[in-house]
Chains A and B, each alone.
Chain A
Amino acid sequence: MISVQNVSKIYENGAEAIKNLSLEIEKGEFVFAVGSSGSGKSTLMKMLMKEVEPTKGTIVINGTDITKITRKEIPYLRRKIGVVFQDFRLLPSKTVYENVAFAMQVIEATPREIRRSVPAIIAMVGLSKKARAYPNQLSGGEQQRVALARAIINKPPLLLADEPTGNLDPDTAWEIMNLLSDINMRGTTIVVATHAKEIVDSMKKRVITLQKGVMIRDIKEGGYSDEV
C-alpha cells in the first residue's frame, strides 16, 4: 500500500526532519507513528499527502510514485487519501451535512450520490441528529467525527490522521480511535500520528517510533512505552 524508500527531508532553513527513512505499510494495516515533538512524524504525514516534497528518496502509494507526479495530478492522488487534522479544519459556514457533502461536490459526484451517501456516513459517525448544526454548535469530539466522515465519504483506500485526538479529552479521544478502528475493519489502511500514549498502548497496533527524523523502532502490536 505504502512504500517509503530512503526518504530524507531537509527544510530550507537547514533542519533535517527525516533522515533516510524506509518503511512498508501493507493494505488494511493500522499504524501509529509516534515520537516527541520535532521527531518528524508530521513531516512524514505531510509527505504522504504530498504537501511536502522529500529531498531524496521515493514514496509509492498504491503503485504510484508520488514524488514523480505533476502538480495537476495531486488532486486526484488526494481523492484516494482521506485526511484528518488535530484542528478538524471544517468549514464554519457550512452545516455538518454540507461539510461532508462538500467533499463529494469537489469530486463532482451526482446530487443523487450525495443524497444517498452523506446521511449514511453521518449516521455511521453517530451525528444524524446534528446534521443541520454548524461546527461552532458542536463539541470537539463531534467536530472530529464530522472531519472523519468527510475524510471517508469518498471511500479512500488510505486514511491519514495527524494528531486526531490532540484537542480532545480522553473519553472523546477513545471514541475517535474506536471510530478509526471501525473504519480500518472495513478495509481502509490507516496511519495515525499521535502523542496519545494510553491509546497507543492499549490498541496493540503496529507502532513506528521516530526520533529526530530517524525511525528507531517498528513493532507490530507495539506500544508507546516501547519508545526509547
Chain B
Amino acid sequence: MKFRTFKYHIRQGFIGLLKNRLMSVASIATVAACAIIFVVSFCIVLNLDYILEQLEDTIGISVFLGDDLTDEQVKDIQNSIEKIGHVSDVVYLSQKDALKWAEETWQNSGMLDGLEEDNPFPRSFDISLDGVKYQKEVVTELENLQREYEIKIVSEKAENEFDENNKRDGVTREEYKAAKLSEIDTVNYENIGIEKITHAQKESEVLVTINTVLRVMSIILIIIMGMISVSIIMNTIKLTVFIRKNEINIMKYIGATDWFIRWPFIVEGIMIGLLGSLIPCLLCWVGYDNTINIAYEKIIVLQDLVKFKTGSEIFMFIMPVTLFLGTFLGAAGSISSIRKHLNV
C-alpha cells in the first residue's frame, strides 16, 4: 500500500468516526464498560494471585534434624533435598540460628533466658518449592529420604553396639543388625537422622484449589468480555456500513479493490476498540492507585498482613493486553461486518 493511500485510509477512518459521532461515542462507551469489568476483574485476580503467592511462601516445608547427625551427614542430606524436583531453595538453620529466630519472634518476653548454654532447638532445613501444588510430591520424597537415613543410622549403631556379649549369646553381627532394623517401625528412635518433617497439607490444598478456580474464572471472563466487545463493535460497524452502503457501491463501480473499501472501516473499528480500552485503563489505573493507598491508610493492619501489587505493576501488564485485545477485536469486528456488502 502506498503511503498516501495509507494516509487516505486513516483520514477516512477518522472522518467516519466523527460523522457517526453519536454511534461512535455509544460504541466506545459500551466497549469501555466491558473493558472496565475486564480490567477490574483482572486487578482482583492478579492481586489474589499475588496474595496467594505470599501465603505460599509462608507454607514451606521444615525438616528437623536429629542431634546425632554429623556435619557431613547434614551436608549430605541438604544435597539430597536440593536434588528433589520442584525444590527451589533449601535454607539450613543451625541451633544458633533457630534460637536467634525465636528471640526475634518472642521479643524480650523472658521465655528464652538462659537457653544459650543448653540450646533445645534442633537443626533444621527450611524448604521452598516452585509452587504449593508440589508439596505432597516433595513431602513423599522427603519421607523416603527420612526412611533411608533411619536405616543407615540404625545399621551403623547396630554395628557399633555389637560386642562380645552378643557373641557369647550366639547372635551373629548380621542377626543383631536385622533385629535392630526390624524395630524401626515399632521403636521411636528420638533424635535419629531426619527427626521430623512438618508441612501444611490442608492449607496448601486449599490454596491450590483457589488458584485453579481463579485461573479458570479469569479465562471465562476474558472470553465473555471479548465476545460482548466484538458484537458491539460489529453492530457499530454494520450500522456505519449500512449508512454508507451507497458509497461502497459506487466505490466498487469505479474500480476500488475490496481492501481499499475495507481499510477506512477497519481504522474506524480499531479506533473504537482502542479508545474503548485506553480510556478505562487510564481511569482504572488512577482509581486503583487511590484505592490501594486508601486501603493501606485506613486499615493499618493490612500493611503487615498482605501486600497488593502496585498500579504500575498491574497496568504495565494489563494495559498492553487490553489495548491489543481492543485493537484486534475492533479490526476483526469491522472485517466481518463489511464482508457481505462487498459483493457488488
Contacts and interface: CB of A to CB of B under 8 A. Distances in A.
B73 interface: no
A91 B253 contact: no
B255 A78 contact: yes
A49 B252 CA distance: 11
Contact of B254 (A51, A72, A111, A150): A150
Nearest to A90: B250
A106 B256 contact: yes
B249 A108 contact: no
Given A51-B344, A108-B2, A110-B4, A91 B250 contact: yes
A112 to B, nearest CB: 11
Interface string A89-107: 1110100000000110111
B254 A78 contact: yes
B283 to A, nearest CB: 34
A34 interface: no
B189 interface: no
Nearest to A160: B253
A38 interface: no
Contacts of A72: 257-258
Contacts of A51: 344
A150 to B, nearest CB: 7
A195 interface: no
B46 interface: no
Q: Is the contact region of chain B dominated by helix, strand, or loop, or is it mixed? A: helix
Contacts of B5: 108
A111 B253 contact: no
Q: Which of B249, B255, B258, B344 has the most CB of A within 10 A?
A: B255
Interface in A64-108: 72, 75-79, 83, 89-91, 93, 102-103, 105-108
In this complex, the interface size class of chain B, counting residues with CB under 8 Å from chain A, is 10 to 19
Contacts of A105: 8
Contacts of B256: 75, 106
A154 B2 CA distance: 19
B255 A89 contact: no
Nearest to B257: A75
A89 B8 contact: no
A150 B255 CA distance: 12
Interface string B1-24: 010110010000000000100000
Nearest to A88: B250
B247 interface: yes
A102 B4 contact: no
Contacts of B324: none
A198 to B, nearest CB: 28
A102 B254 contact: yes
Contact of A106 (B19, B246, B251, B344): B251
Contacts of A108: 2, 4-5
Contacts of B296: none
Contacts of A150: 254
A125 to B, nearest CB: 16
A103 B254 CA distance: 6
Contacts of B252: 75, 78
Given A78-B255, A106-B255, A107-B255, A89 B4 contact: no
A89 B2 contact: no
A111 to B, nearest CB: 7
B240 to A, nearest CB: 13
Interface in B174-196: none
A42 B19 CA distance: 35
Contacts of A103: 254-255
Interface of B: 2, 4-5, 8, 19, 246-247, 249-258, 260, 344
18 contacts: A72-B257, A75-B252, A75-B256, A78-B255, A89-B250, A89-B253, A91-B250, A103-B254, A105-B8, A106-B254, A106-B255, A106-B260, A107-B255, A108-B4, A108-B5, A111-B4, A150-B254, A154-B255
